[in-house]
Amino acid sequence: MYDLAVKYGTIVTPDAAYIGNVYSKDGVIQAVTSVEVEEPALEMIDATGQYVLPGVIDTHVHSRDPGPTHKEDFFHSTQAAAAGGVTTLFEMPNTNPPVSDQKNFEKQKAHLEAQAVIDFGLWGIYLGGFNEGELERLGETGIIGFKHFWGYALNRDTYQLVYDYDPKDPNVFMPAHEGQIYSAMQTIAKTGRLLAVHAENHHLIQEETAKIKQAGGSTYEDLLQARPHLAETLTVQTGLQLAERAGVHFHVLHVSAGESVEMIRKAQQRGQRVTVETCPHYLFLSAEDYETVGPRMKIFPPVKYKSDQAKIWGGIADGTISNVCSDHAPHTREEKEGDLWSIPAGSTGVETMLPLMLNAVNEGKLSLEQVVQLLSAGPAELYEIDHQKGKIQAGLDADLVVVDMEQTCVIDENELHSKSKMSAYHGFNVQGMPVHTIAKGRVVMSNAQVTTETNGSLVSPKT
Amino acid sequence: MYDLAVKYGTIVTPDAAYIGNVYSKDGVIQAVTSVEVEEPALEMIDATGQYVLPGVIDTHVHSRDPGPTHKEDFFHSTQAAAAGGVTTLFEMPNTNPPVSDQKNFEKQKAHLEAQAVIDFGLWGIYLGGFNEGELERLGETGIIGFKHFWGYALNRDTYQLVYDYDPKDPNVFMPAHEGQIYSAMQTIAKTGRLLAVHAENHHLIQEETAKIKQAGGSTYEDLLQARPHLAETLTVQTGLQLAERAGVHFHVLHVSAGESVEMIRKAQQRGQRVTVETCPHYLFLSAEDYETVGPRMKIFPPVKYKSDQAKIWGGIADGTISNVCSDHAPHTREEKEGDLWSIPAGSTGVETMLPLMLNAVNEGKLSLEQVVQLLSAGPAELYEIDHQKGKIQAGLDADLVVVDMEQTCVIDENELHSKSKMSAYHGFNVQGMPVHTIAKGRVVMSNAQVTTETNGSLVSPKT
Amino acid sequence: MYDLAVKYGTIVTPDAAYIGNVYSKDGVIQAVTSVEVEEPALEMIDATGQYVLPGVIDTHVHSRDPGPTHKEDFFHSTQAAAAGGVTTLFEMPNTNPPVSDQKNFEKQKAHLEAQAVIDFGLWGIYLGGFNEGELERLGETGIIGFKHFWGYALNRDTYQLVYDYDPKDPNVFMPAHEGQIYSAMQTIAKTGRLLAVHAENHHLIQEETAKIKQAGGSTYEDLLQARPHLAETLTVQTGLQLAERAGVHFHVLHVSAGESVEMIRKAQQRGQRVTVETCPHYLFLSAEDYETVGPRMKIFPPVKYKSDQAKIWGGIADGTISNVCSDHAPHTREEKEGDLWSIPAGSTGVETMLPLMLNAVNEGKLSLEQVVQLLSAGPAELYEIDHQKGKIQAGLDADLVVVDMEQTCVIDENELHSKSKMSAYHGFNVQGMPVHTIAKGRVVMSNAQVTTETNGSLVSPKT
Amino acid sequence: MYDLAVKYGTIVTPDAAYIGNVYSKDGVIQAVTSVEVEEPALEMIDATGQYVLPGVIDTHVHSRDPGPTHKEDFFHSTQAAAAGGVTTLFEMPNTNPPVSDQKNFEKQKAHLEAQAVIDFGLWGIYLGGFNEGELERLGETGIIGFKHFWGYALNRDTYQLVYDYDPKDPNVFMPAHEGQIYSAMQTIAKTGRLLAVHAENHHLIQEETAKIKQAGGSTYEDLLQARPHLAETLTVQTGLQLAERAGVHFHVLHVSAGESVEMIRKAQQRGQRVTVETCPHYLFLSAEDYETVGPRMKIFPPVKYKSDQAKIWGGIADGTISNVCSDHAPHTREEKEGDLWSIPAGSTGVETMLPLMLNAVNEGKLSLEQVVQLLSAGPAELYEIDHQKGKIQAGLDADLVVVDMEQTCVIDENELHSKSKMSAYHGFNVQGMPVHTIAKGRVVMSNAQVTTETNGSLVSPKT
Ligand SMILES: [Zn+2]
Ligand SMILES: [Zn+2]
Ligand SMILES: [Zn+2]
Ligand SMILES: [Zn+2]
Ligand SMILES: [Zn+2]
Ligand SMILES: [Zn+2]
Ligand SMILES: [Zn+2]
Ligand SMILES: [Zn+2]
Contact C233 B241 (CB under 8 A): yes
Quick one: pLDDT band at residue C322, thresholds 50, 70, 90?
very high
| Residue C223 φ/ψ, nearest 5 degrees | -60, -40
> Which pLDDT score is estimated for B93?
97
Ramachandran category for residue A333: left, alpha or beta (phi over 0 → left; psi -120 to 50 → alpha): alpha
Name every chain D residue with its beta carbon within 8 A of the beta carbon of C35. 25, 30-31
Name every chain D residue with its beta carbon within 8 A of the beta carbon of A211. 183
Distance CA A274, CA A347 (A): 27
E strands, B106-249, where? 119-122, 124-125, 146-149, 153-155, 161-162, 172-173, 195-198
Interface of A with D (CB under 8 A): 167, 177-180, 182-183, 201, 203-208, 211, 228, 230, 233-234, 237-238, 241-242, 245
Whether the predicted interface score ipTM is above 0.85? yes
* Best residue in C182, C232, C235 for a mutation probing chain B (most B CBs within 10 Å): C182
> Which pLDDT score is estimated for C163?
78
Ramachandran category for residue A115: left, alpha or beta (phi over 0 → left; psi -120 to 50 → alpha): alpha
E strands, C272-399, where? 274-278, 323-324
Contact D179 A230 (CB under 8 A): no
> Which pLDDT score is estimated for A161?
84
> Which pLDDT score is estimated for C170?
83
* Best residue in C132, C183, C241, C262 for a mutation probing chain B (most B CBs within 10 Å): C241
Lowest mean pLDDT segment, chosen from B353-367, C111-125, D142-156:
D142-156
Q: What is the pLDDT of residues B292-318, one digit of tens each?
A: 999 999 999 999 999 999 999 999 999
Instruction: Please count the CA atoms within 13 angstroms of the CA of A202 that sit on its side-chain side.
Output: 19
Q: Which residue of A has its CA nearest to D204?
A: A179
Quick one: pLDDT band at residue B273, thresholds 50, 70, 90?
very high
Q: How far is the CA of C299 from the centre of ligand 6 (A)?
A: 9
Angle at A351 (CA atoms; ends A347, A355), nearest 5 degrees: 110
Q: How far is the CA of A347 from the centre of ligand 2 (A)?
A: 10
Residue D35 CA to chain centroid, in angstroms? 36
Gyration radius of chain D over CA positions: 21
Name every chain C residue with its beta carbon within 8 A of the beta carbon of B242. 230, 234
Q: How far is the CA of A330 from the centre of ligand 1 (A)?
A: 13
Distance CA D228, CA A28 (A): 51
Q: How far is the CA of D107 from the centre of ligand 2 (A)?
A: 54
> Which pLDDT score is estimated for B170?
83
Which stretches in chain D have pLDDT values below 50? Answer: none
> Which pLDDT score is estimated for D158?
82
> Which pLDDT score is estimated for D91?
98
Interface of A with B (CB under 8 A): 13, 15-16, 18-21, 25, 28-35, 37-39, 269, 271, 318, 377, 381, 386, 391, 393-396
Q: Is the pLDDT of residue B463 over 90?
A: no
- For residue D301, whether the previous peptide bond is cis, meaning omega lies within 30 degrees of 0, is yes
Of A456, A432, A433, give the one whose Cα is nearest residue A444. A456
Contact A237 D237 (CB under 8 A): yes
Do the bridges between strand C172-173 and strand C195-198 make them parallel or antiparallel, or are there none, so unpaired?
A: unpaired
Contact B34 A15 (CB under 8 A): no
* 3-state helix vs strand vs coil in chain D, percent to 5: 35, 25, 40
pLDDT tens for each residue of chain A, 463 residues long = 999 999 999 999 999 999 999 999 999 999 999 999 999 999 999 999 999 999 999 999 999 999 999 999 999 999 999 999 999 999 999 999 999 999 999 999 999 999 999 999 999 999 999 999 999 999 999 999 999 999 999 888 888 888 778 877 888 888 999 999 999 999 999 999 999 999 999 999 999 999 999 999 999 999 999 999 999 999 999 999 999 999 999 999 999 999 999 999 999 999 999 999 999 999 999 999 999 999 999 999 999 999 999 999 999 999 999 999 999 999 999 999 989 999 999 999 999 999 999 999 999 999 999 999 999 999 999 999 999 999 999 999 999 999 999 999 999 999 999 999 999 999 999 999 999 999 999 999 999 999 999 999 999 999 7
Contact A230 D241 (CB under 8 A): yes
Distance CA B190, CA C296 (A): 38
Distance CA D432, CA D426 (A): 16
Calculate mean pLDDT across residues B143-169. Answer: 88
Quick one: pLDDT band at residue C169, thresholds 50, 70, 90?
confident
Distance CA B53, CA B20 (A): 12
Q: What is the pLDDT of residues C34-51, one digit of tens each?
A: 999 999 999 999 999 999
Q: Which residue of B has its CA nearest to A377?
A: B15
Min CA distance, B30 vs chain A (Å)? 5
Name every chain D residue with its beta carbon within 8 A of the beta carbon of C381. 15
Q: Which ligand is nearest to the CA of A152?
A: 1
Contact A211 D238 (CB under 8 A): no
Average pLDDT, chain C: 97
Which chains lie within 8 Å of chain D at 3 or more CB pairs, if any? A, C
Do the bridges between strand C146-149 and strand D119-122 make them parallel or antiparallel, or are there none, so unpaired?
A: unpaired
Q: What is the pLDDT of residues C62-88, one digit of tens each?
A: 999 999 999 999 999 999 999 999 999
Distance CA C438, CA A262 (A): 55
Name every chain A residue with its beta carbon within 8 A of the beta carbon of B269. 269
Contact B20 A395 (CB under 8 A): yes
D331: CB partners within 8 A, 6+ apart? D71, D343, D344, D346, D347, D420, D422
The answer to whether A and D touch (≥3 CB pairs < 8 Å) is: yes
> Which pLDDT score is estimated for B436?
98
> Which pLDDT score is estimated for C158?
81
Query: Which residues have CB atoms below 5 A from the ion given as ligand 6?
Result: C 327
Calculate mean pLDDT across residues B1-10. Answer: 98
Q: Is the pLDDT of residue C209 over 80?
A: yes
Q: Which residue of A has its CA nearest to D236?
A: A238
**Which domains are assigned to chain C?**
55-388+411-426 (3.20.20.140)
Which among A13, A37, A377 has CB closest to B31?
A37
**DSSP states of B291-312:** HHHGGGG--SSPP--HHHHHHH
Q: Which residue of D has its CA nearest to A233?
A: D241
Name every chain C residue with its beta carbon within 8 A of the beta carbon of D396. 18
